[in-house]
Structure 1
Amino acid sequence: MARPKLLPDNFTLCLVSTVILASLLPVHGQAAVGFNWVTNVAVGLLFFLHGAKLSREAIVAGATHWRLHLVVLLSTFALFPLLGLALKPLLSPLVTPALYAGVLFLCTLPSTVQSSIAFTSIAKGNVPAAVCSASASSLLGIFITPALVSVVVTNQAASGGASPWHTVGNIVLQLLVPFVAGQLLRPLIGKWIERNRGVLKFVDQGSILLVVYGAFSEAVNEGLWHQIPLSALGGLLVVSAVLLALALAVTIFVSKRLGFNRADQITIIFCGSKKSLAAGVPMAKVIFASHAVGAVVLPLMLFHQIQLMVCAALAQRWGARDTTGETHGTSRERAAAAVARR
């Protein structure tokens, strides 16, 4: 019997339960340090398995898919800032000025990496292109985001903090190194992974749940439910929902109009409509004065949770559909998508 469309799937219920658990029992202190280590290992394992799963042909096809990458980058670094500025007269009365500065900062950030790739995988999208596009977005964002902040956020202030190159190092160590290691070991374990696809699905979904719990625990420990009035929190939820809905609508429309096949559309939607909490927090510490960081990152924390919930539901729904009859896109794009799904 088919599940009623209005009922959430099991993974979405797990996400909701994770948020509730983090609100009631957030991890903190030494336990938070250990949990962060476990999360990093899970994310590294995710990229290791993807590296071992993907063929060299798939990686080349993903890396050379320049039209897809261009659409994702334009969505991330052009569409979002324009939406943030255009909607300011309508949405800024719903929140405080400091919170809306955080919303504008959110609009300048790069895309997520691990969750974009995980959702793309769950939805049966073009994973090699997602790896390349999301990783490129994160690396380019280290340079593009500060420049955009100076244009769209008028009250930013320089502040001491960790070097942006530290973020690059973290990306390389946590994501690129495991992926390359998986590629090198593909001749030895690639066939085993193909026979045990459930392992990769478990790591995909498990890593997302770990990221959600850790991120929301950190927000709760910082006094998420005490720093702002309920009216401003409700307004911030509305602002975040509107931004995400518009980004999803635009990426869905543009990817279809440009003739991308279904696998590539999924990649564009998930990579082009999301923002990175992991990159945003250290960038905020570098760009803004220390006293302003809390209000600046709060909109990102809420947006991060909303995008994970919404994209999880979309990924589960799209992943359940039969994609074997895909007929859209050019022959080259269909071949690349077919290689990506092997």
Structure 2
Amino acid sequence: MALLATVGVAALLPARGAAADVADAGATGAVALLFFLYGARLSARETLDGLRHWRLHLTVLGCTFLLFPLLGLAARGLVPTLLTPPLYAGLLFLCLVPSTIQSSIAFTSIARGNVPAAICAGSFSSLAGIALTPLLAAALLGADAGGFSPGSLAGIVVQLLLPFLLGQVLRRRIAAFLARHKKVLGLVDRGSILLVVYTAFSAGMAVGIWHQVSLPRLGALLLVEAVLLAVMLLASWYGAGRLGFDRADRIAIQFAGSKKSLAAGLPMASVLFGAQASLAVLPLMLFHQMQLMVCAALARHRARDADRDPERDADGDPERDAGRDPDPAPAPAMPQRAPGHVAEVSPTPQHPAARAR
């Protein structure tokens, strides 16, 4: 609601002239502060501990930075029938953004999944995205991004990467302060994102963004994004099952591998796209709201399935070990007999020690 309200304020009262310069400077500082706080909060020790589940993390990274971009490239065939070139550039940029952390953890927890794996997977994705998203944008977007150029990578380094690394260096000194003021810093996070949105859409009003996006085009964009989200939810769930992950890990992979981070994507778009950022972030903002609503319903569905039958997968398929004898005690070993020999059945129950073995 705050995002929509910010877009409305930018449409009615856009920053112009000197006010626009002040808003741009404020947004630049807010983005740097945002990534500084990201670096200060991310524990390198927790991240390294999470490397033990490397197959799961590689699967999430593959969904985020391989399968998503491939689907984005395939959507080029929808131009100009359904999408305009600027909207397609924004859709492709959406496919290059890292995964979320907070919502992936929350939905994984609701669905009774592997929460520690979701924490590490989201952290790895965000960390990798600082480098991979600009590099992929330089390789795949090119001139389609309007104001984007490979030279913008220098802006990414100065405005995003250096503050992040500084936060990592100072983490031990300021960790206690951040913990004491967690609520206030949460408002700083949200305020920074809203300021970036206001600045981007104010610039969009100056170039007539709403004259570039008609209602039919907006509806087509929502339809394309709904299909994109459905494909990723299905691919991450059933693909993880084919790779041999259990139910808890599949839930973490599905929620971490199918989402895109608005908090990371908006600041990157403002640096990469410049004056064209308003159209570039529109697909990401719409996708973000859609993924929250769909994944909230899906997480509750997974939780209900777990409550009904803990021994079965969330999609109704038996677990791989469901054919196992429900009695954990192994059957007594039968001695080898000569062919034709009929063994006697002993009425004596097996000794508890043997059952324990």
TM-score range, shorter chain: 0.5 to 0.7
| Residue equivalent to 1:172 | 161
**How far has the Cα of 1:139 moved from its partner?**
0.6
For structure 1, which runs of at least 5 residues remain unmatched after alignment?
A: 1-12, 286-292, 329-342
CA RMSD of aligned residues (A): 4.6
**How far has the Cα of 1:91 moved from its partner?**
7.1
Task: Kindly name which structure, 1 or 2, has the bigger radius of gyration based on alpha carbons.
Answer: 2
Distance 1:71 1:35, change over 3 A: farther
- Which deviations, in whole Å up to 9, do the C-alpha atoms of 1:195-237 show, x marking residues without a partner? x643454344444333333333333333101234443344334
Distance 1:92 1:252, change over 3 A: farther
Distance in 1 between residues matched to 2:96 and 2:167, nearest whole Å: 21
Is residue 126 of structure 2 the alignment partner of residue 141 of structure 1?
Answer: no
Which residue, 300, 308, 319 being the options, matches 2:288?
A: 308
Q: Aligned with 1:202: secondary structure?
A: helix
| Residue equivalent to 1:212 | 197
**How far has the Cα of 1:305 moved from its partner?**
1.7
Q: 1:106–1:299: 8 Å Cα contact kept in structure 2? A: no
Give me the TM-score of the superposition, normalised by structure 2. Answer: 0.61
- Which deviations, in whole Å up to 9, do the C-alpha atoms of 1:225-279 show, x marking residues without a partner? 1234443344334334433443355445545764427566543333589983544
Is residue 51 of structure 2 the alignment partner of residue 71 of structure 1?
Answer: no
Which residue, 213, 231, 234 being the options, matches 2:216?
A: 231
Distance in 1 between residues matched to 2:263 and 2:239, nearest whole Å: 16
Give me the TM-score of the superposition, normalised by structure 1. Answer: 0.63
| Residue equivalent to 1:267 | 256
Distance 1:54 1:225, change over 3 A: closer
| Residue equivalent to 2:96 | 110
Distance 1:77 1:30, change over 3 A: same
- Which deviations, in whole Å up to 9, do the C-alpha atoms of 1:34-86 show, x marking residues without a partner? 33444455455555555555555313234665434423432233323432454
Is residue 235 of structure 2 the alignment partner of residue 246 of structure 1?
Answer: no
Instruction: Name which structure has the greater RCO, CA cutoff 8 Å, separation 6+.
Output: 1
- Which amino acid is 1:79 matched to? L
Distance 1:306 1:256, change over 3 A: farther
Q: 2:236–2:253: 8 Å Cα contact kept in structure 1? A: no
Which residue, 83, 107, 122 being the options, matches 2:71?
A: 83
Q: 1:77–1:110: 8 Å Cα contact kept in structure 2? A: yes
- Which amino acid is 2:93 matched to? L
Distance 1:251 1:57, change over 3 A: same
Q: 1:52–1:184: 8 Å Cα contact kept in structure 2? A: no
Q: 1:112–1:275: 8 Å Cα contact kept in structure 2? A: yes
Distance 1:24 1:185, change over 3 A: same
Distance in 2 between residues matched to 1:317 and 1:202, nearest whole Å: 27
Give the number of aligned pairs: 295
Q: Aligned with 1:70: secondary structure?
A: helix
- Which deviations, in whole Å up to 9, do the C-alpha atoms of 1:112-131 show, x marking residues without a partner? 58xx3454576676445423
| Residue equivalent to 2:345 | none
The runs of 4+ residues in structure 1 deviating greater than 6 Å are: 155-161, 272-275, 314-321, 325-328
Distance in 2 between residues matched to 1:52 and 1:81, nearest whole Å: 29
For structure 2, which runs of at least 5 residues remain unmatched after alignment?
A: 110-114, 314-357
